[in-house]
Amino acid sequence: MEFNTRLLHGKAVRKYPDSAILPPISQVTAFRFDTAEEQAKVFQHKAAGFAYSRVGNPTVAAFEQRINELEGGNACIACSSGMSAITLALLNMLCAGDEIIAGSGLYGGSIDLFEDLTKFGITTHFVNHVTPEEIEPLINSHTRLIYSEVIGNPGLRVLDIRKVADFAHAHGIPLMTDSTTATPYLVNPISLGADIVVHSSSKYINGYGNAISGVIIDSAKFKWDFDRFRALDGYRKFGNLAYTIRLRTDIWENMGSCLSPANAFLNIAGLETLGLRMERICSNASRLAEALNGIDGIKVNYPLLESSPDRDLCRTQLKGFGGGILTFRTGSRERAFRILNSLKYAVIASNIGDIRTLAIHPDSTLYIRSTKEQKESAGVFEDTIRVSVGIENIDDLIDDFTEAIRNS
């Protein structure tokens, strides 16, 4: 099946109760058992079933199964937010003394998280762009993970997944990718060698700005060296499945970062239009970037522009698309604010991946905890505007932004 057909008719789309076309919302805390013995087996993971919604829920499971099928993983675990997914994905495999190599062009919240992890004895070394050439000098006996966004937000550099995955594996290191901005529609990182994929599914997967959530997908292909990856040592007998088993039965369960059934339902409903939305969003983003790029005094950053170093990689790895985000520099913070305040259709909001076009001044919002160096490494300057392009008519969007710029 092609992508849009698989969204509606894939193997993970089950025959739901009462012939419903979407799974029911199991908005309950606990589940009834006929016998104590049956309940005990479910709690001990010796039998399939649901006991308590913090550790498993039918609606959440339906969402996990759909995402796992789209990404081609071995297992998917849904979390209460994208940041929760990233946090648990990292803590599941890292201990004090371990080190991460990550791209510097990350979402501000992720940069803040890596700083928080230093208090747990986990150190992150940042590179301008995640490539074998930049990574290699930083690898040492403590390196346990290479981490990168597939399309940096808002830096917009594109990760060469296969090249970096092959390099990481040659050094016995897994690759974890945040594919929020790419989505399963543009690329499946696991098919190119990534070991663990995370999404803030609040964004493009949901698409309608009505539910916070995150997902972790494990390929179960990485061969864990349990003497090096001490966090997984107690799960040796599970081999390649150790990461998933520990995540599901230990750290995710114990930290209580479960997704609500209602939000899982909203995500499933939104997911079914992901392909259609991404086609329109990416087309709009490309055309808006080209239009703004011709305006004097405006410097646009978008992966498909001729000036982008990642243009060819978009064509080969991302189906010819450049994603739904662009940024542009205006010359001053004051002018950036004037432009934002003049927009008629674009909404000033902090989300991305909505059907509506959203715009924000990241320097004064998303990156308020970052240093000047961290901001600039992420592609954030005091005159930067980030635009998450929606599905509106492109002529209206171009008119909206060009008029706001002209009046600034």
- CA–CA separation, 195 and 368 (whole Å): 32
pLDDT tens digit sequence for 331-373: 999 999 999 999 999 999 999 999 999 999 999 999 999 999 9
Question: CA nearest 181: which of 348, 322, 328?
Answer: 322
- CA–CA separation, 380 and 154 (whole Å): 7
314: pLDDT strictly greater than 90: yes
| pLDDT given at position 76 | 98
Q: Which one of 3.60.15.10, 3.30.300.170, 3.40.640.10, 3.40.190.10 gives the CATH number of domain 3-270?
A: 3.40.640.10
- CA–CA separation, 151 and 129 (whole Å): 11
pLDDT-based confidence at 385, cuts 50/70/90? very high
Residue with tokens 């992890």: 117
Domain ranges of the chain: 3-270, 275-406
pLDDT-based confidence at 14, cuts 50/70/90? confident
Q: What is the mean pLDDT of the chain?
A: 97
- 17-21, 193-197, 268-272, 331-335: least confidently modelled range: 17-21
| pLDDT given at position 15 | 85
Q: How many other CB atoms are there within 10 angstroms of residue 188's CB atom?
A: 19
- 10-19, 53-62, 198-207: least confidently modelled range: 10-19
- Using a cut of 0.85, tell me whether the model's pTM lies above it: yes
- CA–CA separation, 258 and 270 (whole Å): 19
Position 335, amino acid: R
- CA–CA separation, 125 and 171 (whole Å): 17
pLDDT tens digit sequence for 137-162: 999 999 999 999 999 999 999 999 99
pLDDT-based confidence at 279, cuts 50/70/90? very high
Q: How many other CB atoms are there within 10 angstroms of residue 396's CB atom?
A: 12
45: pLDDT strictly greater than 90: no
State the average pLDDT over residues 302-329. 97
| pLDDT given at position 401 | 98
| pLDDT given at position 289 | 98
End-to-end, the C-alpha distance of the chain in Å comes to: 48
In contact, 175 and 226? CB cutoff 8 Å? no
HSE, side-chain direction, 13 A CA sphere, residue 66? 29
3-class secondary structure, 248: helix
CATH-assigned architecture of domain 275-406: Alpha-Beta Complex (3.90)
Residue with tokens 């510097």: 104
